[in-house]
Structure 1
Amino acid sequence: MEKMGYKVGGGLGKNEQGIAAPIEVKLRPKNMGMGFNDYKEAKLPALDEVPEEKPGAVLAARPKEKLWSKQKQAKKPREYMTAEELLVKKQEQGLDVVQKVLDMRGPQVRVLTNLENLNAEEKAREENLPMPELQYNIRLIVDLSEVDIQKIDGELRRERESVVSLQREKEKLQKEEARQKRQLGIMETILGVLDTLGEESTSGTLTLDSLMNTFNSMKERHPEEYKLCNVACIACSIAYPLLIRVFQGWEPLQNPLHGLKLMSSLKDLLDGDRPYDYSDTMLTSAPYTQLVGEVILPAVRIAGTNTWHARDPEPMLRFLESWEELLPPPVLHSILDHVVMPKLTVAVESWDPCRETVPIHVWVHPWLPLLGQKLEVLYSTITAKLGNVLGAWHANVFDAGSWNRLICERIIPKLMEALNGFEVNPANQKLDQFEWVMRWACVIPIDYMAPLLEAEFFTKWLQALYIWLCSNPNFSEVTEWFLGWKGLFPQELLANERIRQQLNRGLDMMNQAVEGMEVVQPGARENVSYLRVTEKRQFEAQRQASANASYQHMSAVLGNGVHVDPTGTAPQTSLKEHIEAFAVENGLMFVPKVGRMYNGLPVYAFGNVSMAIDALNQVLFAQRPDGWRPVSLHQLLEIHHSSSRR
């Protein structure tokens, strides 16, 4: 043993954890069992004790412990726990997943359920507990019992949950059974009503009123079954022969209001508030759509093909307007594509611009809201016919004065009307009306176009820019907005002095806002000056001479044969109206210059001449190279012609 590492006086084992002295032999009395009558059995010597030496041997360095000095250790009371208490304890601790651990450190493999008592046997031996192997086995049995109890409890819980789930499923099936029984009873009732209606229809006693009353009451009492059984289709098939008799011989273009209330009631009955499915076709659409397509559409096609003329759109438009809410989209598209468009195509092809007295837009444009882009196929034919007519047009038809008069009397008012309704909105800008006006820039002389834009567009444009600059804007966005507007003007307009002046005014306002200066509202100074001068002139008007002298003075200034009543009463037209008529007569533009004032008087553009009207004194002022001078109308016309020649 010494060759194998054993030391004399030490314990057995690798770590000297075994006994250090041989087992003592003690003779027990005859016929006495272990532990009888508190008999003290021989004990294994402690590891720290030195074995007794035989006679003649050397005593150990450490003396034996005095057994009589040891106090009795109090035994811990045993704790017992029932299965219910164990489950409650585990439930409070939380149920953990039970895993098996194999302990292969000894000669035999041990199965553990946790690692708490992994070294329990060694601890028991170290603490000198009696029978540690037995205690360990008992503890293992207890742990396995706990695991079995938890397992059985889990299975019991799952079974209870299954019972609750099955109970709920049973209640659900019972409710479904009751619902289906109720639906079956309602369907039997509906079938009985339908059989009754079928008998009345066969006998000829069924009317539309009784039919609609029956189906309306059915729909109100059983709305779900009404949709589920598709009763609307059955109502449609029963109502079809009755509607044929109602609309027999009907002229839809002459009497478009016939049957409106009846069809409105049928629409509520068959479709209700259900939105129309635009993916459906005429054949697979809703019952109401099929009914209208089989009853109303044939009558409209016959009337439109035989009696309607495209040059008189009112009858067809009146019918479509009356039936707008009752015609399903497939029916409306069928009427427009197969009745209206063919008629319009034939009428446009037969249209003769030289002989027709009714303009073509009178009977084509009313269809724009309904046909929209479909009318574009007609535009090529109209353009070709107009091109042929203009090809025979001679240049001597219009002289310069007539052409200018045409522009001033017909085109300029329309452009002013378009710009009057135009709105400058940087947040949501719509340019349709502005683009309409810009298309005429190459046709209308700049002398007319510039004052028009100055009066009708730039006032709104500058006001919108002023409001934007006063709201702490992003100046990069303002710059892009300014450049975008500037890019919309043709080069010939950008080269005009008046247009450049208005754009520069906007640019100056932007520079003032960037530099932190106060931005002056457009036209504010001119308005204040005008009010000041107007008050002054009203004060001077009280000191003027009689009305006769003022009218005689006006007649002398005008020098164009204006008649003045010798009684001193005022003429029927004002001085401004005389000047406007004189400008139209000579084919000149007469518009105000917004924002420009002379001595508090508004400045107007008379052709190429800037002029002001003193209505109080009946005097005209024109701007000459040497300043403002009073002039007559003939002198004003001569100044315009001289500036045009330059």
Structure 2
Amino acid sequence: MFKRKSDAEDDGSRKAPKLGGAGGSGGGKMSFAAKMMAKMGYKEGEGLGRSGDGILKAIEVKQRPQGVGLGAVREKTEQDKQEAKRQALKRGEEYEDSSEEERKARRKRKEAVRSATASGASTPGGARKPKTKYRTAAEIERQAEGLEVPNVLKSLIDATGKEAKLITSTAGLMTPTFTSAVEETEAQKIANRARKELESYADAWTELTERNKFALAEEEQVRQELAEQDEEIKQVEQMLQAVQALQDLDLSRPRLADDAANAWEQVTSKLETLQVEYATEVERFHLTEVAVAAINPLFKQEMIDWEPLEKPTHLVPYLLRIKRILGIKKDERALAIHNGRDGFQSIRRQKSTTPYESLIYNSWLPKVRTAITNEWDPLNPSPLITLVESWRDLLPEFIYHNLVDHLVVSKLSIAIQEWNPRTSLKRKHGTPLPHIWLFPWLQFLSPHHTDPTSATGLLTEVKRKIRVVLDTWDLSRGVLPGLDAWSSVLGSTLQDALVKHLLPRLAKLLATSFEVYPPDQDLTPLEHVLVWEKFFKPAVMGQLLIAEFFPKWINTLHAWLTMPEANYEEIGKWYNWWKEQIPASVNAVKAVSDKWEEGLVMMNQAIDLGDDAISQLPPPAAGPSKPIASALRSKEVETPVKARTQAQEVEATFKDVVEEWCEQEGLMLIPLREAHDITGLPLFRITASASGKGGVVVYLKGDVVWARKKNDKTAFEPVGLEQTLIDRAEGK
């Protein structure tokens, strides 16, 4: 049969192409893939990529055994290792995989062990046997302190040989000398036995010596302890004698004042001696309890007749001398001052009080509490301040807190609530101003009482009281008494209260009561405003004048300049006079100086215009004003009209007059929401009590006050605003 050409070609096409040796001597053909890669710049034996940095061989796959997790076998194939090594060599580095690192680590450990245990002559890896060291008899004698080696052990006669031989420690007695492993002479045996016995004796001697030293040390320690105990027994006996001497004083029986002073001096002197001699043993021997028990009878006797406000320093000198033995600590008092209530709470967490604290709490505090509650007047702070300052270093923390923050503060709070600024300067009903009797207490009070920004506290009550007073204070009476003293304590809070409560009233006063009237100028309203100038910043006061004073002043100046008979010299003097009435600090404000400049410019314009100023002088920007000429002509006419109007206002507001009179006299006019049976007019109660009770019931008819009679509650009689009504309001 003949092969067809197509069949031969098909068989040849199915042969595998030769990848290697392309272009070699064999002249083999390149495969299609090899040709394509060669066209793209690939060279056999180099990595993939333009610079040959890619992998050299195809990626191999390494199968992990079934059921085995990560880390059980080495994941890197041989191809990965060769490729990583090739890349490292290309970078000039040395490649080490995990297996090589482990081999090097094991090799290093073996070398370390071998270098530590082996020597050059020993077997590699084996430990060298330590060399036995022998001591001579002289060395043993030197090392074993006090041991005397017998001469018989220092030298022996060896008569076993042909001739006698002296064996000493230096000639072989204490050192083993073997001529043969089998043969051992009698001298060597004797030497060995002597060496072993001598070393055994030396060790036993050393042990006994150490025991002897320890026993001597114990004996010395016991001797010292006995001496200390003897000294302590003597000290305790002396202390017992001192305590017995305190008992012999018989302090429990009543005494007169002179005898009590002598008894206090005696017991204080003896306790002072104990305090000095047993300063380090106070807690150990419970001397605090002894001291408190010694003064307890005397202390209780003194508290019976003691007047805290009359004798605030009573017993203080005695207690200060023995404060250490009484267990009084300074740091507790300091903690109470700085932490306030927190210090009191820390004391409350203690399980019990000391004997001295119990004595003060049960005997001293009730006496002082009664004096403060029933006798002390907050308006006279000196006696109680002396008491607090004197006892300050002697009071426990919680008692000091109870005294100041509870007893004193409660009385001061009531006094602040009863303070009436309107009557504070009255001679009859006058009371000291709060800053006189409150400021001395600020150094003793806790922080929340001295912080005006706090939600509660004494200064907060004062601030609230001042705000109420500023809303109703009669501006004609000048500055609120004592307000300048409060500015240093209240700080910015007072400034805020003045701006919110007083400044609008000052503006209203200038707007309604002040007029610029050159013929007969009344400066009273302006003076009532400027008297408050020191409490405001110059810019604030300047703004007030710009809003309420300068519009009236500039209108009056314009009206005067446009009068036919205007005298510019007189106007200039008037201008300078007004400028002098305003404080220099306010005039220095730029907005105020601009207003003065505006008036000066208007005056210069009028001078330049001459007679034409009457019609051509521009009016001020504030608007038209009342002509000054008509004001001058109608002055005499307006005066009686004003008087009639004021009389009508007084008649129409007679209730306001009565209220003002009550405020000035320290009384209150309280509406009862009831009506008189006959007239139907509302009834009021005039009383001096802060509770609103008592006093006298009245009603107002016209300009007459009708008061209820004392004996007949249905009848009323007219009374005047005089002392009789004041006495009835006070319940006299």
Q: What is the TM-score when the length of structure 1 is the normalising length?
A: 0.41
Larger RCO: 1 or 2 (CA < 8 Å, sep 6+) = 1
Q: What is the TM-score when the length of structure 2 is the normalising length?
A: 0.37
